[in-house]
Chains A and B, each alone.
Chain A
């Protein structure tokens, strides 16, 4: 059992025709190790508030004063519900429903596939109903992959199901797309060439 009840629907996977279900709780680095934060202090010794100054210097924008959205060329705001997911050709893609509570086919993958993967979030799992065959596969170090979508949107993420001595985890993220390097050729990625210009924390 997790330390306090999980609120979301369970993660349900189907492995070799048998269904297993897990409670899940999102965890992050700060929850495991704690964290360090740097606090700027004003001359009175109190923490400063971060804000934005508009480019023309006319407006101080405190948190909550800025919003964002999509607009057409005439400046009309487009309600979020009217927006579609579009593929590179501009064609609409279908809405992907949430996978929570819905059995998802889990398939074993090779370890290198699990490493060519960018993890966006980690969930600690506690089994509600665990099929013995899945239990055995996880115990032997099998890594399973299944589709994952927390809420309905236009893109299902991918999840990996793993177990180690510490527990069972669901890693949610997206596959990486590395290329092969060849003798007289290296892949050209569409990204800024100098990592020093970028906030590395943003990746």
Chain B
């Protein structure tokens, strides 16, 4: 079963239907002819053989030590396959953090410079069963849509039974005839962008529809998700990237 999505149509009627990420053309896999290979992550160095550790142990100029021996290689560990791992946080002193950290939100400008720090506010998902995505009535011709926004994610909408088939077929037919897409909105009044996961990225969602020219019983409804307009960055953003964010003084 695909994930469910709740939608309204142009008449304000709602239905629970299915959605899935549309597959895309894939790259050829890498390998060798007639010889199986596998992709692995492995340990390349350890904390004890890092530059900082070697400097501490052998002094800043340890090049001769590298020539005379192999202090930078931990023969027991380097090369070990890492079948799996979990993400952890280290303190600024390099210790593993055993308690949840405090979290702040940093706002970076287009030039990459930090503008503000503030307490993060959790944003709940608003694409769920209870509240339908609403047909806002704001339509945009497909040609304009493709030239004004960039779409990194596209979701296909499917029926779940005969009734929802009729519902979606009619929606697709209307959009196909008008050669336009309609903006869908979330929230009680349909004015909010679409957020699929808690604290997820907000997207503008445009629904487009097509009917198969060779079979009018077949339809295709795509929800195009955009988080970026096609426009140039401000001039100060087109300069080489700035230094990383400096920590706050405690």
Contact = CB atoms under 8 A, between A and B. Distances in A.
Interface stretch (A9-17, A34-42, A99-107, A128-136): A34-42
A114 interface: yes
Interface stretch (B6-14, B54-62, B100-108, B130-138): B100-108
B24 A154 contact: no
Interface residues of B, number: 119
A61 B212 contact: no
Nearest to A57: B86
A151 to B, nearest CB: 13
A191 B23 contact: yes
Interface centre among A33, A66, A71 (most CB of B within 10 A): A33
B91 interface: yes
A120 B165 CA distance: 32
Interface string A1-12: 011100000000
B208 interface: yes
A86 B82 contact: no
B86 A53 contact: yes
A189 B21 contact: yes
Contacts of B86: 52-53, 55
Contacts of A70: 30-31, 37-40
B9 to A, nearest CB: 16
B24 A3 contact: no
B28 A112 contact: no
Contact of A66 (B30, B44, B110, B250): B44
B153 interface: yes
Given A46-B250, A169-B230, A177-B25, A143 B88 contact: no
A93 B42 CA distance: 28
Interface in B1-50: 1-3, 18-47, 50
A84 B233 CA distance: 38
Contact of B85 (A39, A61, A67, A73): A61
Contact of B33 (A43, A92, A143, A193): A92
A84 B39 CA distance: 14
Contacts of B89: 40, 42, 48-51
A111 B142 contact: yes
B218 A176 contact: no
B78 to A, nearest CB: 9
A171 B145 CA distance: 13
Given A50-B89, A60-B96, A178-B23, 7 more contacts: A34-B108, A51-B87, A66-B82, A85-B30, A120-B152, A178-B222, A195-B21
Interface of A: 2-4, 25, 27-55, 59-62, 64-73, 78, 82-87, 90-93, 111-112, 114-120, 122, 124, 141, 143, 153-155, 160, 162-164, 166-167, 169, 171, 174-183, 186-187, 189-191, 193-196, 200-201, 203
